């Protein structure tokens, strides 16, 4: 499963499930230590852990930057 970290509330990360579009709460202790808002994370069922998808996170950031640039042109 793939998630986008929306925000943090206390010890929970509020994440958008990319398959269902719903919001889910994930304990921050289960996430990589360097995860931040806007990051894409993947739950690896074989490893039974959440992993940071750096490549997709970077792609999303670039798309957002392009859209913001287009907005101001």
At 48, list the tokens. Answer: 């039974």
Determine which of 15-29, 32-46, 57-71 has the lowest per-residue pLDDT on average. Answer: 57-71
- CA–CA gap between residue 22 and residue 13 (Å, rounded): 14
pLDDT grade for 70, boundaries at 50, 70 and 90 = confident
Domains and CATH numbers, the chain: 2-71 (2.40.50)
Q: Let me know: does 32 contact 58? Beta carbons within 8 Å.
A: no
pLDDT average, residue stretch 21-29? 97
* pLDDT band for position 62 (cuts 50, 70, 90): confident
- Is residue 11's pLDDT more than 80? yes
- Does the pTM surpass 0.85? The reply is no
Concatenated DSSP letters of 1-67: -EEEEEEEETTEEEEEETTT--EEEEEGGGS-TT--TT-EEEEETTTTEEEE-HHHHHHHHHHHHHH
């Amino acid at each position: 499963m793939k998630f986008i970290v929306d925000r943090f509330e206390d010890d929970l990360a509020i994440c958008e499930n990319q398959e269902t579009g719903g919001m889910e709460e994930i304990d921050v202790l289960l996430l990589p230590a360097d995860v931040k808002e806007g990051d894409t994370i993947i739950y690896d069922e074989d490893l039974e852990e959440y992993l940071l998808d750096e490549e997709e996170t970077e792609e999303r950031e670039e798309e957002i930057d392009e859209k913001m640039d287009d907005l101001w042109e």
